[in-house]
Amino acid sequence: MKVHVTINGVSYERDVEPRTLLAYFLREDCGLTGTHVGCDTSSCGCCVVVMDGTRAVKSCSMFAVQADGHEILTVEGLAEGGQLHALQQGFWDQHGLQCGYCTPGMLLTSYALLKHQENPSEADIREALAGNLCRCTGYNNIVKAVQQAAATLRQPVGAK
Amino acid sequence: MVADPVVRQMGTVVGSLCHNDPAGDWTAVALASRATVVVRGTGGTRRVPIDGFLVDSFSTAVEDGEMALGAEFPVPDDATAGSYQKVERKVGDFATAAAAVQVSMNPDGTIRAAGVALSAAGACAVRVDAAEQLLAGQKPSAELIRAASDAAWHRSVPQADLRGSVEYKKHLAGVLVARGLRQAFARLGVQA
């Protein structure tokens, strides 16, 4: 089946089997391996991507054809012009990653959270990230990273 | 609930019913609240009561060429309340044990109708008929809740797995039905 998806602002058209999962479409058909597959059963959240700007979805539990005509944001699309996204900077500054395997999913789930809530409480962040597992167990720093990013993004544009 | 917040971006109530995991949440809730599933195929639309819809683990009354379109839950009146009680290992996990209850009261303070169902207590979610029958027509009391709790213990036929032993899960089934009933009665302002 023909699938047409806009990923990180770039248009991709591919011919896929109907059963192809979005995660494998991104990784194997589009060569975007920043999206990780941890459990393949929608438990771990490594594969989270953002659909249509605000909706965090687990790409292992969606068919590629369900993304037809939609916009997908993956971790490769977060940084702009060589500048880390505020979330990426937050994870860097707060040591929000250890092995890094869960990080793309953590970043994109947090990205969608901050689109919905610009000033989430710690409880809001933990609730939003409940479906993202970090087997290094670095949750405290992940929460701090999201808090830092939220504060950065709340600043007026141009302010440092 | 369906799993965690991110899964719920795609997951649905009817999808959960169709999945019919033995330890799912919505199947037990649908039993306790006497839901009906709307199923459509080339032959037309049919409405399947939840008891007949849940056939076996991971299998439902949906036939080849059919699709479940929705679920209908009776609208509870002011004298009706429910509760869902669950023990889980982590947020969004399938139940180690869970109980769904719903009670409706008569103006004279007796129970008009009760729905009691368990998850993680058999091949698929089960209705605790014995508990429903012994509750109906009675005035809520600690003894009545204990009797319903015992009925749940008897009805639960769980499988031992990483989440717990058979003994543990049966124990939880009884405890959770009692907690659910107490909360449902409390929500109605009824002394139990």
Task: Map out the domains of chain A as residue ranges.
Answer: 2-77, 86-154
CA distance B158 to B155: 9
Helix (H, G, I), strand (E, B) or coil at A28: helix
Structure tokens at B7: 């899964």
Answer yes or no: is pLDDT of A159 > 80: no
- In what side-by-side order are the strands of the sheet with B97-105? B80-87, B97-105, B111-119, B126-127
Answer yes or no: is pLDDT of A82 > 90: yes
CA distance A76 to A33: 9
Closest in A51, A55, A58 to B7, CB measured: A58
CB contact under 8 A, B10 and A132: no
CB contact under 8 A, B91 and A56: no
Burial B79-96 (b: 16+ CB within 10 A, else e): ebbbbbbbbbeeebebbb
Query: In Å, how far is B15's CA from the nearest CA of chain A?
Result: 13
> Interface of chain B against chain A, CB under 8 Å?
3-7, 9-11, 91-92
Pairing of β B59-60 and β B54-56: antiparallel
Q: Which domains, and CATH codes, for chain B?
A: 7-72 (3.30.465.10), 80-187 (3.30.390.50)
Contacts of A45 in chain B (CB under 8 A): 4, 6
Give pLDDT tens digits for A14-52. Answer: 999 999 999 999 999 999 999 999 999 899 999 999 999
Q: What count of Cα atoms within 13 Å lies in the side-chain half-sphere of residue B52?
A: 10
> Could you give the dihedral angle defined by the CA atoms of residues A6, A11, A17 and A19, in that order, rounded to the nearest 10 degrees?
-10
Give pLDDT tens digits for A107-119. Answer: 999 999 999 999 9
Q: Determine contact, residues B120/B94, Cβ cutoff 8 Å.
A: yes
Query: In Å, how far is B91's CA from the nearest CA of chain A?
Result: 6
Closest in B3, B5, B92 to A128, CB measured: B5
CB contact under 8 A, B6 and A58: yes
Low-confidence ranges of chain B (pLDDT < 50): none
CA distance B13 to B41: 20
Q: Return the axis-axis angle of helices A103-116 and A86-93, rounded to nearest 10°.
A: 130
Give pLDDT tens digits for B112-121. Answer: 999 999 999 9
Structure tokens at B126: 């089960």
ipTM field = 0.84
Q: Determine contact, residues A147/A125, Cβ cutoff 8 Å.
A: yes
Query: In Å, how far is A48's CA from the nearest CA of chain B?
Result: 8
Nearest to B52 by CA among B83, B85, B84, B27: B27
Considering only the top CATH level, what class is A2-77?
Answer: alpha beta
At B84, give phi and psi (nearest 5°).
Answer: -120, 125
Contacts of B5 in chain A (CB under 8 A): 127-128, 130-131
pLDDT bracket for residue A66 (50, 70, 90): very high
Q: Return the axis-axis angle of helices A139-154 and A103-116, rounded to nearest 10°.
A: 40
User: In Å, how far from its chain's centre is CA B160?
Assistant: 20
This model's pTM is above 0.90: no
CA distance B85 to B63: 32
CB contact under 8 A, B5 and A127: yes
> Interface of chain A against chain B, CB under 8 Å?
42, 45, 48, 51, 55-58, 61-62, 109, 127-128, 130-132
User: So what's the pLDDT on residue B2?
Assistant: 85
Q: What angle do CA B90, B94, B97 make, to 5 degrees?
A: 95
Give pLDDT tens digits for B61-97. Answer: 999 999 999 999 999 999 999 999 999 998 888 999 9
Q: Which CATH architecture fits A86-154?
A: Orthogonal Bundle (1.10)
Pairs of residues, one from chain A and one from chain B, whose beta carbons lie less than 8 Å apart: 35
Query: In Å, how far is B10's CA from the nearest CA of chain A?
Result: 7
